[in-house]
C-alpha cells in the first residue's frame, strides 16, 4: 500500500507541474512525442482519480482498482520521459 501512495504522490506532483505547460498549443506542436505521452498520463490520471472518487476509502480503492500500482508506475515513467524531453527542448531553445 505504501508503494501505491508513493507512486500516486509522484504522479500528482509531476502532473500538476506539467499540466499547464502542455495546455499550450505551441508546446504541443513543438513537442509532439511528449504531448502524446502527457495525454496518455492525463487519461490514466483522470481514470485513477475517478475510481478514487467512486471508492474514497484508501484500502478498498487500492485493492479493488484494477492494476492500480502498475498504472501509477506507468504514469510516472511516462512523466519522467516528458520532463526529460521538455528539459532538452528548453536547453536547446
Helices (H) and strands (E) in the chain, counts: 5, 0
Contact 79, 11 (CB under 8 A): yes
Q: For the chain, which ranges sit under pLDDT 70?
A: none
Q: Which three cell numbers stand for residue 54?
A: 467512486
pLDDT of 62: 87
**Could you tell me which of 51, 46, 56 has the C-alpha nearest to residue 15?**
46
Taking the CA of residue 44 as centre, how many other CA atoms within 13 Å lie in the half-sphere pointing to its CB? 25
Amino acid at each position: 500500500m505504501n508503494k501505491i501512495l508513493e507512486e500516486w504522490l509522484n504522479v500528482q506532483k509531476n502532473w500538476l507541474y506539467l499540466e499547464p505547460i502542455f495546455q499550450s498549443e505551441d508546446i504541443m506542436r513543438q513537442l509532439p512525442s511528449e504531448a502524446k505521452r502527457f495525454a496518455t498520463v492525463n487519461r490514466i490520471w483522470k481514470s485513477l482519480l475517478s475510481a478514487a472518487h467512486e471508492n474514497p476509502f484508501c484500502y478498498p480503492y487500492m485493492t479493488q482498482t484494477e492494476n492500480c500500482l502498475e498504472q501509477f508506475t506507468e504514469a510516472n515513467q511516462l512523466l519522467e520521459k516528458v520532463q526529460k524531453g521538455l528539459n532538452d527542448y528548453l536547453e536547446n531553445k
